[in-house]
Structure 1
C-alpha cells in the first residue's frame, strides 16, 4: 500500500510540475526596455528566418571606428533582447560590431519558445551574421549568458562554423536535467523525489555538457560567480572539466548571476576584450 501511495504521489507531482518546466527556462515578453539609440549608437533592425521559417528579430550595431570583429550575443531566459542590451552595449565602443537577437516568442520574434526551436534560432543567428557582406566573416565571436550560454554552446558545438574565433560563456547551466533537479531540490517535500522527477519532466537534448568538448579547438572562456543563487557554481566547474583545451575559467569572488559585465567599471569588461583580441590575433590556439 505504501508503494502504491508513493507511486500515486509521484504521478501527481509529475503532472503538477510539468507545467512549471517550460516556465523555468522561458520567460519572454514583448516590452521594450532599452535601445542602442539611448546609448548614442546607430543600429539596424533586422529580421531573419530560423530553420522552420519562423521570423526572428535582431539589432546589428556597427563598431565605433574600424571593426576588430563581430560579437554575437545570446541573451538569458527572461524578457527579451532589449532588457539584456545593457550587458553588451559597451562592446561597439571597444571596436566590435555587435549582433543581438531574440529567440522565437521573445520581443518581436514570431512563434513560441521551445528547446528545439530556440536551438535552431541560435544556429540561424550565427548563419545570418556569417552571411553578411559588411562584416569580416572570419572574425566572429560568441558571447552567451545564462540560458543563452547553453544555446551558444549547443549551436557552436553541434555545427562547424568556420568564421568563429572564440566563445565566452557566463553563468550557464551544465544540463537541462541537472538544473531542473536543482530547482526541484529547493521545494519542500517535492525535493524527496528530485531524481525521478528530473528524468520524468525533462530530457537532456541540446544540453551544454553533451557538446562543450566539441567547442575545441576554439578558445573557450567560462565565467561564474561563486555565490550565484540561480546557477550553482559547480555547473561551471563541470563544464570546464568536460571542455577541451584551449579553455579558461574565471571565478568572480562573491559574484552573483551574470554580473561580470553589468557595471561600467567592471574589470571583466577589459579582460573579455583582451580574451577576444588574443583569440583574433592568434595568440590563443585557434583553428587555421
Structure 2
C-alpha cells in the first residue's frame, strides 16, 4: 500500500512543478530600464495606448519624419532593451522616421497578467496603429514594423491582418512555436526540452492563448517582408524560417530572406552596419 501513495505523491509533485514552470513562462519578469529617447537626442512623449480588449500599454511617441516605424520587442524584454531595441530606435530616428514604441502586454510597464507570445499581442499592435491613426494621422500614411523574436511573430501576423501596415522586418521569428517553446525551456531555464509537452497545457490554461500556426501566415502575407535568421540561433532554426520564406514566396514577390551567422536576435549586435544597410534599403524602398 505504500508504493501507490509514494507514486501519487511523486505525480502530484511533478504536476505542481510543471504547473509552476508553465506559470513562469507566461508571466515573465518585467524588464524596465532608465534611458529615454532624450538620451538619444530626441524629444518624445510618454503615451498610453488602450487596447481593443481594455488593457493600457505604456510607450513612447517620438515624432520625426512623415513615415512611422514601430519596433516590436521580444519575449521577456521591453522598449528599454539595449541588445536590439535601443539601437533600432536610434537607427530609425537617424533615418528620418517617426517612431512609436510600446511594451507588449505583461511586459515593461504595460498592463496584462500573462503573455501569449503572439496571439493576443496582435491586439496590441492593432491598437497601437489605432492610436497612431487617431492621434497623428499625418504620420500614419505609411507604417512599417521591425519586430524581434515574439515581435517578429506579431510583425508577420499584422502584415496579414491589418491593411494599414505597409511593410515589415521580422528578425528571428519563431515559425514552429512548440519547437521554440521546448528549446526555450533549455535556453531560459536549463530544463530538458521533453518537459515542454507537460508544461504547454498549463501555459494555455493560465494565459488563455489559442494555438498559432505561423506557416498558415505564409499563405496570407502579400506585403513586403524581410525575414532575418541566424545560423547559431538556439531557439529558431534558420531552415524553419527558410521554409516559411519558400512557402510565402509562392504568393508574395516582395518577401526577402537574409541568413546570418548570428545567435537569436543578435545580427544587429554582431553585424550592426550590415543589418542597418539591409534594413535601410528595405524601408527606403517601401516607406519612402
TM-score in terms of structure 2 length: 0.79
- Corresponding position of 1:73: 71
Q: For residue 234 of structure 1, report the CA deviation from its aligned partner.
A: 2.8
Q: For residue 20 of structure 1, report the CA deviation from its aligned partner.
A: 2.2
Q: Quick check: 1:74–1:149 contact (8 Å CA) kept in 2?
A: yes
Q: Cα 1:213–1:110, aligned 2, differ >3 Å: closer, same or farther?
A: same
Q: Quick check: 1:178–1:198 contact (8 Å CA) kept in 2?
A: no
- Corresponding position of 2:124: 121
Cα deviation 1:23-60 (Å, max 9, x = unaligned): 34653425324211111111111111011211111111
Q: For residue 199 of structure 1, report the CA deviation from its aligned partner.
A: 6.4
What is the RMSD of the two structures over their aligned residues, measured on CA atoms? 3.2
Alignment partners' CA distance in 2, 1:142 and 1:265: 18
Cα deviation 1:101-159 (Å, max 9, x = unaligned): 011232221232332543322221122223333534331101110111112222332x2
How many pairs does the alignment contain? 269
- Corresponding position of 2:242: 237
Q: Tell me, which stretches of 5 or more residues in structure 1 are unaligned?
A: 1-5, 282-288
- Corresponding position of 2:225: 220
Q: Does 1:160 align with 2:168?
A: no
Q: Which has the higher helix share?
A: 2
Q: For residue 272 of structure 1, report the CA deviation from its aligned partner.
A: 0.6
TM-score in terms of structure 1 length: 0.79
Alignment of 1:197-208 (within 5 A): 197=198, 200=201, 205-208=211-214
Q: For residue 232 of structure 1, report the CA deviation from its aligned partner.
A: 2.5
Q: Quick check: 2:98–2:139 contact (8 Å CA) kept in 1?
A: no
Q: Tell me, which stretches of 5 or more residues in structure 2 are unaligned?
A: 1-6, 205-209
2:38 aligned counterpart, secondary structure: helix
- Corresponding position of 2:183: 182
- Corresponding position of 1:100: 101
Alignment partners' CA distance in 1, 2:8 and 2:145: 45
